[in-house]
């Protein structure tokens, strides 16, 4: 039956989240209703608030979480009530061209870049004050209960601490995978990471795990440097300390430019700089930050003609349903750490304070 619970509803852009009582409908065929235990705050959620990422309102945001299955709809066989799970904002239907390819992970059933806001059948499972509330990226985790499609949820180790592994739902996997999966960083290589939020720090961890010999961390907030060094950065650079463009600084620091560069902010200027600072012939630059809506990028095509590779990475290139349980298992085996990525733990009702901390770089 219908569950009444608390959710953080975003009624319109550029306003605070409103904690409301919502009704969450039972799961339909091939759907799963989840009790959310822990959810991370990601800059992509804030992009919707500010209008950088266009979505319909009212909406329940959130896409980085972990929880426990409360009930399942007809035909769901892979998951049962009581299972610990992570919702997947990049689903894995197993049937589309990207799912069938060994080279891709962006399932055609994803909602990225489309302002849909509905379940796959075109309807919502949330109601508040008599109004239908839109879904976000097929996950909507800023609520005590949510409903997701069976292809957008991964069952994980029942012993996993949900308040840690929720980060595998987006931030950690996105950054770590950009280095080890998308770029395929090699031992001895030189890397640069633009942006040292949770995702950028996860790229630093991925570069270190891949054996990079030099990892240059770039951010305009020098407070981020101590943690970047703790996680593997060898050099830290603040672009505001220099008169010349940052890509020139990085080329001077490295002699030829870097082997791999990662843009983990979502700004067109830094995307262009990340491309320009990688080695002119075999450098690889990866866009990890969500690009702002309605902005175009202009660059000198000679940057690519000489041989550079420019690529994007969504969810770290991982096939979600297959990889998330394995990443959780790796975390349980202590193959990587998540604790340094968690700066604050707040009760759900203080979600607006959490977003203030995100916006101030804390």
Instruction: Choose, from 52, 107, 166, 170, the residue flagged as catalytic.
Output: 170
Residue linked to tokens 């069938």 = 100
Q: Minimal CA–CA distance to 317: which of 172, 109, 177? A: 177
Query: Is 111 labeled as catalytic in the residue annotation?
Result: no
Whether the Cβ atoms of residue 126 and residue 140 lie closer than 8 Å to each other: yes
Instruction: Choose, from 63, 134, 149, 247, the residue flagged as catalytic.
Output: 63
Query: Is 170 labeled as catalytic in the residue annotation?
Result: yes
Residue 349 to residues 60, 257, 268: CA-CA distances in angstroms?
14, 46, 34
Query: Is 124 labeled as catalytic in the residue annotation?
Result: no
Query: Is 247 labeled as catalytic in the residue annotation?
Result: no
DSSP string, 54-74: ---SSEE----EEEEEEEE-T
DSSP one-letter code for 167: G
Residue linked to tokens 């080695």 = 279
DSSP string, 245-307: -HHHHHHHHHSS-BSEEEE-S--HHHHHHHHHTB-TTT-EEEE-SPPPTT------THHHHTT
Query: Is 191 labeled as catalytic in the residue annotation?
Result: no
Instruction: Choose, from 44, 71, 140, 261, the residue flagged as catalytic.
Output: 44
Distance CA 82, CA 67 (A): 9
Tokens of 317: 């290139």
Contacts of 358 (CB under 8 A, 6+ apart): 41, 43, 46
Residue 225 to residues 2, 195, 201, 243: CA-CA distances in angstroms?
47, 11, 10, 20
Instruction: Choose, from 47, 135, 149, 247, the residue flagged as catalytic.
Output: 47
For residue 78, the tally of other CB atoms under 10 A from its CB is 13
Residue 269 to residues 303, 314, 324: CA-CA distances in angstroms?
15, 20, 32
Whether the Cβ atoms of residue 117 and residue 45 lie closer than 8 Å to each other: no
Cite the active site residues: 42, 44, 47, 63, 170
């Amino acid at each position: 039956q219908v569950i009444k619970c608390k959710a953080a509803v975003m009624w319109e852009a550029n306003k605070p989240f409103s904690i409301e009582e919502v009704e969450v409908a039972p799961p339909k065929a091939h759907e799963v209703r989840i009790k959310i235990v822990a959810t991370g705050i990601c800059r992509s959620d804030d992009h919707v608030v500010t209008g950088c990422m266009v979505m319909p309102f009212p909406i329940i945001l959130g896409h980085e979480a972990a929880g426990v299955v409360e009930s399942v709809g007809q035909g769901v066989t892979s998951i049962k009530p009581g299972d610990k799970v992570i919702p997947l904002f990049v689903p894995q239907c197993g049937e589309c061209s990207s799912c069938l390819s060994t080279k891709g992970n962006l399932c055609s059933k994803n909602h990225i870049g489309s302002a849909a806001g509905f379940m796959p059948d075109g309807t919502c499972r949330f109601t508040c004050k008599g109004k239908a509330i839109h879904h976000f990226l097929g996950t909507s985790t800023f609520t005590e209960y949510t409903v997701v499609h069976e292809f957008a949820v991964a069952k994980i180790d029942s012993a996993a601490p949900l308040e840690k592994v929720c980060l595998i739902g987006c931030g950690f996997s996105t950054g770590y995978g950009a280095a080890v999966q998308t770029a395929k960083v090699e031992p001895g290589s030189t890397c640069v990471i633009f942006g040292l939020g949770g995702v950028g720090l996860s790229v630093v961890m991925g570069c270190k795990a891949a054996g990079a010999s030099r990892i240059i961390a770039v951010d305009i907030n020098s407070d981020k440097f101590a943690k970047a060094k703790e996680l593997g950065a060898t050099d830290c650079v603040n672009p505001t300390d220099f008169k010349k463009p940052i890509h020139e600084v990085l080329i001077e620091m490295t002699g030829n430019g870097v082997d791999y560069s990662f843009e983990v902010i979502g700004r067109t200027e830094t995307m262009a700089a990340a491309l320009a600072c990688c080695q002119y012939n075999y450098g690889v630059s990866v866009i990890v930050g969500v690009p702002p809506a309605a902005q175009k990028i202009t660059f000198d095509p000679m940057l690519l003609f000489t041989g550079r590779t420019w690529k994007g990475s969504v969810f770290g290139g991982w096939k979600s349903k297959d990889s998330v349980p394995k990443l959780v298992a790796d975390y349980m085996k202590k193959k990587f750490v998540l604790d340094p990525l968690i700066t604050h733990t707040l009760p759900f009702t203080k979600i607006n304070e959490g977003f203030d901390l995100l916006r101030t770089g804390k």
